[in-house]
Amino acid sequence: MKKANPNQDRPEIFNTAVLKKIQQARMAQPTAGELLSGILSGDINALSKAITLIESSNPKHFEKANTLIHSCLPHANQSVRIGITGIPGVGKSSFIEAFGKHLSGLGKKIAVLTIDPSSTISHGSILGDKTRMEELAKDPNAYVRPSASGETLGGVARKTRETIVLCEAAGFDTIIIETVGVGQSETAVHSMVDFFLLLNVSGTGDELQGIKRGIMEMADAIVINKADGDNIPKATLARTQFAHALHLFPSKKSGWIPTATTCSAKTNEGIAEIEQLISKYIELTKNNGFFDSKRAEQNEFWLLETIHHQLQEHFFHHPEIQKELEKTKKAVQNNEYSPFAAAQLLLKKYFKNKP
């Protein structure tokens, strides 16, 4: 056998390789404490890892994720949360890019999150070509994070809400949430933001058609985008129509009177005014107490939402219930049982067998 030579560099290379592996493994699996100190120092890499952790659907990660969110909470409230909705193609991503760059110019730090439960199916937006917001993503004051994929709307929404907390702890003072503007995503976003902006475009002259009343009612501002070039007169007309329509809604608890305005994400016309509008809203609602009471209400909503969700998950994943449910479904379909009585039976069984 060859005698070991202490000066031989082979063992050293081996050691460095092992060391590197250990370091990489540690980096890949940082503790909640390591992630927290990374986040608090504004380390984007740590923030991204933390978001991946809370997005994980592996039950083994839940405890660590909860510990992390809990420890971020005391650092997480100094922000303005803005929701942007509108049908695909109105220019939400383009608007956020222009608006985000303007905010960055004012010295703000912006995190952009998207709620798009369909992203796994459509691979991003349906019409848009700016989903990644390339320019804003390059801005050192901005962080752009696409939606968690492969999830239901409820799942995406819950995780987005926790992501907001992490971003705020990392020092982002403006959180912008883009929804795809289809389905129920507006309601989910509305329940996690301070200011809700509905983006629109002028088109057929019959602008108010096709916009759900409930969404208009939630809006704190309606912005007609693409007010540039030949489109300016039409956009101005649309703004007037929306302004009239907004007057017909009952006044808001916030004391704020929603407004309609125009902008162009292409020329930046009107973008600065929208920032001023939102600042006015924040000032008003912080002074009259609505800002804090709305956030408190939202916290309560998410508490109850999470409980509902977890109870449901637990029930439907219970092995005995899963077996029984199939039989019960058939019995109900064949009118052997009333749905109500069958539900009672299943629930009774569930509560009896609860571990």
Ligand X SMILES: Nc1nc2c(ncn2[C@@H]2O[C@H](COP(=O)(O)OP(=O)(O)O)[C@@H](O)[C@H]2O)c(=O)[nH]1
Q: Where does this chain bind ligand X (CB under 6 A)?
A: 86, 88-94, 125, 127-130, 225-226, 228, 264-266
Question: Any residues with CB less than 8 A from the CB of 217 and at least 6 apart, and which?
Answer: 249
Residue 146 binds Mg ion, judged by CB under 5 A:
no
In whole angstroms, how far apart are CA 258 and each of 35, 218, 287, 352? 40, 9, 17, 52
For residue 225, the partner it binds in ligand X, Mg ion, none, with Cβ less than 5 to 8 A by kind, is ligand X
Nearest Cα to Cα of residue 320 among 354, 282, 297, 275: 354
CB-based contact 190:196 (threshold 8 Å): yes
321: helix, coil or strand? helix
CA distance 94 to 176: 13
**Which residue lies nearer to Mg ion by CB, 128 or 154?**
128
Q: Which helix (H) or strand (E) holds 313?
A: helix 290-317
Q: Report which residue's Cβ sits closest to ligand X.
A: 128
**Which residue lies nearer to ligand X by CB, 38 or 86?**
86
CB-based contact 245:207 (threshold 8 Å): no
Residue 125 binds Mg ion, judged by CB under 5 A:
yes
CA distance 262 to 230: 14
Residue 203 binds Mg ion, judged by CB under 5 A:
no
Q: What dihedral do alpha carbons 245, 247, 248, 253 form, nearest 10°? A: 120
CA distance 104 to 174: 10
**Which residue lies nearer to ligand X by CB, 175 or 223?**
223
Exposure string (b/e) for 175-188, b if CB count within 10 Å is 16 or more? bbbbbbbeeebbeb
**Which residue lies nearer to Mg ion by CB, 125 or 231?**
125
CB of 263 to ligand X, least distance (A): 7
Residue 118 binds Mg ion, judged by CB under 5 A:
no
Residue 93 binds Mg ion, judged by CB under 5 A:
yes
For residue 85, the partner it binds in ligand X, Mg ion, none, with Cβ less than 5 to 8 A by kind, is none
Binding positions for Mg ion, 221-260, rule CB under 5 A? none
CB of 308 to ligand X, least distance (A): 31
CB of 125 to Mg ion, least distance (A): 4
**Which residue lies nearer to Mg ion by CB, 35 or 219?**
219
- Candidates 128, 146, 154, 203; binder of Mg ion (CB under 5 A) is 128
Q: How far is CA 317 from the centre of its chain?
A: 26
CB of 270 to ligand X, least distance (A): 9
The mark string for 38-77 relative to Mg ion (x by CB under 5 A, - otherwise) is: ----------------------------------------
Segment near Mg ion (CB under 5 A), from 15-23, 125-133, 223-231, 323-331? 125-133
For residue 174, the partner it binds in ligand X, Mg ion, none, with Cβ less than 5 to 8 A by kind, is none
Nearest Cα to Cα of residue 249 among 201, 208, 199, 214: 214
Per DSSP bridges, beta strands 110-115 and 259-262 are: unpaired
**How many residues lie near Mg ion (CB under 5 A)?**
4
Segment near Mg ion (CB under 5 A), from 60-68, 91-99, 137-145, 217-225? 91-99
CA distance 187 to 93: 19
- By CB under 5 A, name the binding residues for Mg ion: 92-93, 125, 128
